[in-house]
Amino acid sequence: MIFSGFLIGLIFGALLQRSRMCFNSAFRDVLLFKDNYLLKMALLTVAVQMILVHLLAQMGLIALAPSGLNWVANIVGAYIFGLGMVLAGGCASGVTYRAGEGLTTAWFAAIFYGGTAYAMRNGGVFSGVWKWFQGFSVAPFQYFDQTTGEGFSKLYLQKAGQTLPSVFGVNPWIVVVICAALILWYVFGTQTSERESKIGLKTAAVLLGAVGAFAWYFSELVGRNYGMGITGGWSNIWSVWLSGKPFSWDGLSVFGIVVGAAISAVMAKEFKLRMPRNPITYVQVMGGGIIMGFGATIGGG
In the complex with another protein, the residue whose CB is nearer, 131 or 272, is 272
Q: How far is the CB of 123 from another protein (least distance, A)?
A: 32
In the complex with another protein, the residue whose CB is nearer, 41 or 252, is 41
Q: How far is the CB of 9 from another protein (least distance, A)?
A: 20
In the complex with another protein, the residue whose CB is nearer, 155 or 285, is 285
Q: Which residues bind another protein (CB under 8 A)?
A: 20, 22, 24-25, 28-29, 32-35, 37, 89-90, 94, 101-103, 105, 193-197, 265, 268-272, 274-277, 281, 284-285
Q: How far is the CB of 269 from another protein (least distance, A)?
A: 6
Question: Does residue 101 contact residue 273 with C-beta atoms inside 8 Å?
Answer: no
Q: How far is the CB of 166 from another protein (least distance, A)?
A: 37
What angle do the packed helices 23-33 and 37-58 form, to 10 degrees? 140
In the complex with another protein, the residue whose CB is nearer, 101 or 220, is 101
Amino acid, res. 73 = A
Q: How far is the CB of 296 from another protein (least distance, A)?
A: 19
Q: How far is the CB of 80 from another protein (least distance, A)?
A: 19
In the complex with another protein, the residue whose CB is nearer, 173 or 271, is 271
Q: How far is the CB of 295 from another protein (least distance, A)?
A: 18
In the complex with another protein, the residue whose CB is nearer, 147 or 278, is 278
The CA distance from 187 to 240, in Å, is 41
In the complex with another protein, the residue whose CB is nearer, 66 or 94, is 94
